[in-house]
Structure 1
Amino acid sequence: MRIVVQKFGGTSVATPSARELVVKHVLNKINEGYKTVVVVSAMGRMGDPYATDTLLSLLNGKKMEARERDLLVSCGEIISASVMASLFADKGYKAKAFTGFQAGIITDNNFGNAKILDIKPEKILQALQEGIIPVVAGFQGYTEDLEITTLGRGGSDTTAVALGAALKAECVEIFTDVEGIMTADPKLVNNAKMLDEVNYREVTEMAYNGAKVIHPRAVELAMQHNIPLRVRSTFSDNQGTLIKLGPEKVVTGIAHTTHIAQLKIEVPSNDKELESKIFESLAQKGISIDMINIFPDVKIFTLAEDVVSKATEVLKELGVSFEVTKNLAKVTVVGGGMMGIPGVMLSIIEALKKENIDILQTSDSHTTISCLIKEEDVKKAVLALHEKFEL
């Protein structure tokens, strides 16, 4: 049995006309001889009646226990699955909606950001064998104690890939409202190009560094199981971008993240206990930090602006001196083949210097070089780097 999993995002199921296109893509795959599993997100975005953010807005800013919050937000995907299954049935095709629970997706009990532990796909396989189109609610699963959980932002991508692995699918297709993976954000770079093929590792780095087309956890899972991923648009017949094992370029694309703050903390070089206490206390508060530079008397790192107040409270309690700089952004050059290639950093410096953009901090890995800059310079920086590396 040749199986393909197709995941459709919120904009793909938001309107009657978009849902008709979903049907077309699914039937195209079935007509090619595949058994197709459909995974859906909640309909639309903030303001649309059943979108995840709209459901959350029902709280009016009030706190809710994590368990009940997951019950609330899991409803959006269930509605989508039910509507899509009914649409297939209306057109004469057998279809059946499945919650994450019914699809056999077992998770840990970390409400709001659960991790998939196992999948028992027997009911999905049975449906496929009976000629039924399974339509699975993405973004959700259940614990061994039968509690409903959600998988965090981008969780429907993860649902699709995890099901693909469990079903030994030939491919997982992620349908969205963009044509595929681009060399940079087309909102900033008019001549950004779509990548026909790209390596798992490069897409993961682009996703972690600001590209929002696909969730990095889903790409990592696909890489682990060597399942080809295809990112494409619901609203065209373009085949999009194929993500798989393959050659890596010196530079593949430019990613960026905004709303970043930088913290500089003064710590006496002989006070190792305080240094450890700072990072331990931040971690205990659930504060994620990035671009970490450690010097004898100064510790520098970045964090999201929306957690700055929480971080400064921690530092004040510890009695340390610190300096906060807001309205910053990170631009990242991504390329799996840059390791050992001289001159990449030089090219970055030259491109940003030409535009009079100050580099406030840098960090790098085997596949990325990131620069911290003022947020007002983001567009200039991305354009300059895109041009410099002739993407």
Structure 2
Amino acid sequence: MSLIVQKFGGTSVADPEKIRAAARRAIRAQKQGHRVVMVVSAMGKQTDELLRLASAVSDKPPAREMDMLLSTGEQTSVALVAMAIDDLGAKAVSLTGGQFGMKTDNSYSKARIRSIDTGRIEKHLDEGHIVVAAGFQGIDDDLNITTLGRGGSDTTAVALAAVLGADACEINTDVDGVYTTDPRLLPEARRVDVISYDEMLELASLGAGVMHSRSIEFAKKFGVPIHVRSSFSDRDGTMIVAQPESESSPVSGAALTKDEARITVLGVPDVPGISQTVFSAIAEKKVAVDMVVQNIGVEGKADVSFTVPGDELELTLSALDSIMEKIGATGLTHDADVSKVSVVGLGMASQKSVAARMFRALGDAGVNIHMITTSEIKISALVPRDQAATALRAVHEAFELHERPADAKTWAAIQADSSREADVDDVVARLQNDALEALTLTGISIVEGQARVTLDGVPDQVGVAADMFEEIGRAGIFVDMIIQGYDGVDGSTSVSFTIHDNDLDAGLKVAKSICEAHSMRDVRGAAGITKLSVSGIGLRSHTQVGTVLFEQLADAKINVEMIATSELQVNVVIDSKRGDDAKKCLQAAFADALG
């Protein structure tokens, strides 16, 4: 008999009628021959009300007691849902996180799952019950109640689907699937029938609110198919699986992160260890760094630019103040009035001129680009906040995301291909080592035979990036990494990109013509570089990855020339002579994560 995990968010159980509707959906699935586990969030705004009560009695409530308090929201919901199922004539049992065997570490409010003992759930399923499990919560080794943090119920649902060997995990929510972009921002956004784990991870990290990235990490790690659908209709939603919707489309979705802040540390010595010092100071403040750009140094000095959430700008600046003298930086600039527009798609890894197409769309819409970072499946551009909506519409239209691709997979094909891709025995084996939510790296690799071209003094003007990369595309040069950041000289920017070393002469020739056409300051190029990539699941939620990477390279006296980051990879450019050394030291440092 197949097993389905059904998750219902707060809006799906916000009142008695919605609770009964959720109960009816679970009973219907059971009558269709499935064993059913429900994972339920707190009702509606109940968590907000509990937070209000806590603030009314304490200015600084202890973290342990906050988890004790907030966990009661889910406990209320599961009991009411089980009562509704019983009233409708079916058998149900409600279980808290501790009761169904969710063991976590003791990091209150952001606990990580260590293991799940499925024995009690399976016993109740064998007895014909619908199991109603509390999302968002677990217990530590001392039986203290812990909570998983933002998106915790999604994470609970996918984790249970993984350890129970569920055939699918349904996320029932107030939207009917995943869209090509936020339909509240663009009404023409299209619901997609299928999206890949990697694409969804990138979109989740960019602010797509349908699901939290931790739950997608679980699904990818253990091959759990996820069906995102509306709680209020029987319409098919979106399947999140290994494959993309279309093999031919370079882009599957676009996202806007509106509240960003850009910081540039100017004139840092271009020597090993500087990046590690900068980002360790920020990590100590628990600030999540997003776009990271370190461009090629000039006369032994480099600039490091990155973005942080707008509401964490002041905290980040205070962290940097403490190290500016230590690292020998010449200054610091910041801009709190920027937004990030991104496109994501597995197809862009094998198609040329995707970046040029995006930059042309922004240029034609009159949108200026302040920063650029790229990865194999994502391109992000930092733009003025007052042009953010225009930028999102421009890239959405440029890639025709409102149109269904001709080779889009059908629902029948998706369901046929969405069987479990991970062996349940493998999941159980990992549980025995408390490794359910451990960092999982899929590889540490080097790409040799690379060259780098840098244009200095790039005018901070509309359309320049489009002109540059269209010209490079016409020359038949395939570009890998692209980064653009402030160069701290005259308010202009610098742009660097990597190409195959066989294309260096041609790349420099094109770059010099671009330099002359736009009155840029200089063109520089170098062969003999290597791209070092750390790839994995959970690079964003396991914030120590970047810190360890920079520490290891600094200890080995390996200088980092360029940096570009994404949800799935951290990429750095180093001297090719040190490529093997770098790979070996990182393989040793991450041996446990590589398994």
Q: TM-score range by the shorter chain?
A: over 0.9
Cα deviation 1:52-91 (Å, max 9, x = unaligned): 2221122328212221111111111111111111111122
1:55 corresponds in structure 2 to: 50
**Pairing 1:364–2:374 present:** yes
Q: Which residue of 2 aligns with 1:156?
A: 153
Q: How does 1:85-234 map to 2 (within 5 A)?
A: 85-234=82-231
Deviation at 1:277, TM superposition (A): 2.5
| Deviation of 1:214 (Å) | 0.9
Could you tell me the TM-score, scaled by structure 2's length?
Answer: 0.63
State the partner residue of 2:510.
none
Cα distance in structure 2, aligned partners of 1:30 and 1:271: 62
* Structure 2 counterpart of 1:257: 257
Provide the C-alpha distance between the structure 2 equivalents of 1:290 and 1:155, rounded to a whole number of angstroms. 22
Secondary structure at the aligned position of 1:58 is classed as helix
Task: Look up the match of 1:338.
Answer: 348
Query: For 2:381 and 2:367, how far apart are their aligned partners in 1?
Result: 10
Aligned-partner Cα distance in 1 for 2:19–2:54 = 29
The DSSP-based 3-state class of the residue aligned with 2:106 is coil
Judged with a 3 Å threshold, the aligned counterparts in structure 2 of structure 1 residues 115 and 275 are, in CA distance, closer, same or farther, namely: closer
Among 380, 385, 390, which residue is 1:375 paired with? 385
Q: Which amino acid aligns with 2:74?
A: E
* Aligned equivalent of 1:237: 234
Q: Please say if residues 200 and 245 of structure 1, whose CA atoms lie closer than 8 Å, have aligned partners that are also in contact.
A: yes
User: C-alpha root-mean-square deviation of aligned residues, in Å?
Assistant: 1.5
TM-fit CA distance, 1:270: 5.2
Q: CA deviation at 1:215?
A: 1.2
Q: CA–CA distance in 1 between the matches of 2:285 and 2:271?
A: 22
Q: What is the rounded CA distance, in whole Å, between the counterparts of 1:55 and 1:111 in structure 2?
A: 16
**Displacement after TM superposition at 1:378 (Å):** 1.9
Give, in whole Å, the separation in 1 of the partners of 2:344 and 2:276: 31
Calculate percent identity across the aligned residue pairs: 40
- 245-254 or 271-280: which moved more? 271-280
Q: Aligned with 2:111: secondary structure?
A: coil
Contact 2:265 2:333 in 1 (8 A): yes
Contact persistence 2:5–2:37 (CA under 8 A):
yes
Runs (4 or more) in structure 1 with deviation over 6 Å come to none
Contact 2:54 2:66 in 1 (8 A): no
Higher mean C-alpha deviation, range 91-100 or range 311-320: 311-320
Deviation at 1:273, TM superposition (A): 5.4
My pick for the range that moved more, 35-44 or 216-225, is 216-225
Q: Say if 1:366 and 1:273 are closer, same or farther in 2 by CA, change over 3 A.
A: closer
Q: TM-score, normalised by structure 1?
A: 0.95
* Superposition deviation, residue 272 in structure 1: 5.3
Give the paired residue count: 386
* CA displacement 1:161-216 (0-9 Å, x = unmatched): 11111111100000000010001110111111111112111111111111110111
Letter in 1 for 2:25: H
CA contact (8 A) 1:5 1:172 kept: yes
Q: Distance in 1 between matches of 2:371 and 2:194?
A: 31
Separation of aligned partners in 2, 1:99 and 1:56? 20
Shift of residue 276 of structure 1? 3.5
Partner residue of 2:502? none
CA distance in 2, matches of 1:271, 1:181: 44
For residues 71-82 of structure 1, what are the structure 2 equivalents within 5 Å?
71-82=68-79
Distance 1:274 1:165, change over 3 A: closer
Match of 1:283 in 2: 283
Secondary structure of the residue aligned to 2:392 is helix
Aligned to 1:309: 314
Deviations 1:140-169 (A, max 9, x none): 111122111111100101100111111111
In the other structure, the counterpart of 1:35 is: 35
Contact in 2 for aligned 1:251/1:337 (Cα 8 Å) = yes
Residues 267 and 275 of structure 1 are in contact (CA less than 8 Å); yes or no, is this contact kept in structure 2?
A: no
Distance in 2 separating the partners of 1:313 and 1:200: 36
| Alpha-carbon distance between aligned partners in 2 of 1:344 and 1:41, rounded to the nearest angstrom | 40
Structure 1: stretches of 5+ with no match in the other structure: none
**TM-superposed deviation, 1:358:** 0.9
Verify: 1:25 aligned to 2:30, yes or no: no
Name the stretch that deviates more: 240-249 or 293-302: 240-249
Question: Deviation string for 1:239-278 (max 9, x for gaps)?
Answer: 1001112245411011121211000112332565555422
Q: Deviations over 1:112-143 (max 9, x none)?
A: 11111111011111111111111111001111
Q: Which moved more, 1:117-126 or 1:289-298?
A: 289-298
Which secondary structure does the structure 1 equivalent of 2:350 belong to? coil
The residue type equivalent to 2:266 in the other structure is E
Amino acid aligned to 1:162: A
CA distance in 1, matches of 2:283, 2:206: 21
Give the drift of 1:363.
Answer: 1.1
Read off the aligned partner of 2:154 and give its amino acid letter: D
CA contact (8 A) 1:3 1:34 kept: yes
Equivalent-residue separation in structure 2 for 1:315 and 1:225 (angstroms): 39
Relative to structure 2, which stretch is displaced further, 17-26 or 155-164? 17-26
Residue of structure 1 in register with 2:514 after alignment: none
Consecutive unaligned residues in structure 2, runs of 5 or more: 402-595
Other-structure match for 2:359: 349
1:276-298 CA-partner distances (Å, limit 9, x unpaired): 42222111121221111113331
* SS across alignment from 2:183: coil
The amino acid that maps onto 1:88 is I
Structure-1 residue corresponding to 2:433: none
Of 288, 300, 321, 2:305 maps to 300
